[in-house]
């Protein structure tokens, strides 16, 4: 719960919070596979 409160304070969207919670339980970030987890994208310079 404290990490969820911190995420809200950091202005995370509800979809971002729910997606991360889903991944914590072993489920896909987006069950419809329309968006990828924006936090796991690798950026190459």
Kindly tell me if the per-residue pLDDT of 26 is higher than 80: yes
Beta strands in the chain (DSSP E): none
Higher pLDDT: 39 or 30? It is: 30
Contacts of 35 (CB under 8 A, 6+ apart): 29
Tell me the average pLDDT across 4-15: 94
Rounded Cα distance between 5 and 31, Å, is: 24
Q: What is the mean pLDDT of residues 2-29?
A: 93
CB atoms within 10 A of CB 19: 22
């Amino acid at each position: 719960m404290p990490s969820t409160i911190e995420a809200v304070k950091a202005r995370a969207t509800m979809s971002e919070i729910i997606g991360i919670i889903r991944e914590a339980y072993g489920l896909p970030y987006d069950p419809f596979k329309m968006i990828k987890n924006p936090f796991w994208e690798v950026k190459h310079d």
